[in-house]
Amino acid sequence: MAQSAVASDVVFLTAKHTVKPEEKDSLNGGLFLSAIDQLRTLPGVVTVFWGRSIEQTDRLAVVIRYTSPPTTNPSGILAPFSTTPNSPQLQHLRFSYDAGADLPSYPATEIAFPCFASDTPLAELEPLIADLEAALPKMVHPDGEKIALGWNSGWLAQPKTLAHSLSKTTGQAIVWGMFIGWVSREEHLKVTGTELFLKPAMPLIKRMLPMVEGLEGVHFAFRE
């Protein structure tokens, strides 16, 4: 059984074109995998997954699951592989929940970050989130085959909020992070146009701000 974790970091980077960890014998691919191994040795780390975006093939995500927050900033270890190591495109976010041990088993993992004005009461949002999550197991094909395979979600813990120009009273947004495993990107996109998705999702969507640039929902294929 996979060891449980209590929280997760996720780092996004726009990778240099020579960074091809799928080709572990390539120079920068091998160096990237060595950096992943270095992250795995940090105190408190349970495991580390990396994945390439299905939509944006130059974009990589690294998910670090841990039992206690690592004292080393993972962005510093991964920055050499980014085309823009000092820009917001190297995003490092910390969530106070476990992103899940099953990410590599999903053909496509959607990572989405719905944003809400920071003065929105959580008591208003969390029932809507619960309704959406309760609907995910019901998203199946007529033969009963699952479309949504698994999910984990929770509030952004560090930083607590992100700047958002459309949050009119505070200029800040709170962020709900969602990791949802789908049978495929195509099947996910199909189901989002059906009542199975729209009925539980629309009340939440109506409260959302536009997603922060660089944190729009995309799909990744993860590996351990």
- How confident is the model over 164-190, as pLDDT tens digits? 999 988 999 999 999 999 999 999 999
How large is the average pLDDT for residues 44-69? 94
| Higher-confidence position of 203 and 157 | 203
Does residue 93 register a pLDDT over 90? no
Closest CA to 158 of 2, 9, 23, 14: 9
Task: Supply the DSSP string of the chain, one letter for each residue.
Answer: -PPP-SEEEEEEEEB-TT--TTSTTSHHHHHHHHHHHHHHTSTTEEEEEEEEESS-TTEEEEEEEESS--SS-HHHHHGGGBSSTTSTTSEEEEESS---TTGGGSSEEEEE--EEETTS-HHHHHHHHHHHHHHGGG-B-TT--BSEEEEEEEEEEESS-EE-TT-TTTSEEEEEEEEEEES-HHHHHHHTTSHHHHHHHHHHHTTPBPPPTT---EEEEEE-
Does residue 160 register a pLDDT over 60? yes
pLDDT for residue 103 = 95
pLDDT for residue 157 = 87
Distance of CA 149 to CAs 18, 104, 142, 159, Å? 33, 12, 16, 29
How large is the average pLDDT for residues 129-150? 94
85 falls in which pLDDT band (50, 70, 90)?
confident
How large is the average pLDDT for residues 123-137? 96
| Higher-confidence position of 73 and 137 | 137
99 falls in which pLDDT band (50, 70, 90)?
confident
CATH number of this structure's domain 7-99, picked from the four choices 3.40.50.970, 3.30.70.100, 3.30.230.70, 3.30.43.10:
3.30.70.100
Cα 72 off chain centre by: 20
pLDDT for residue 87 = 63
Q: Hey, which residues does 7 pair with through a beta bridge?
A: 66
- 7-99 and 104-223 in the same fold: yes
The CATH number of domain 104-223 is 3.30.70.100: yes
**What residue spans define the domains of the chain?**
7-99, 104-223
Can you read off the two tokens belonging to residue 90? 């190297």
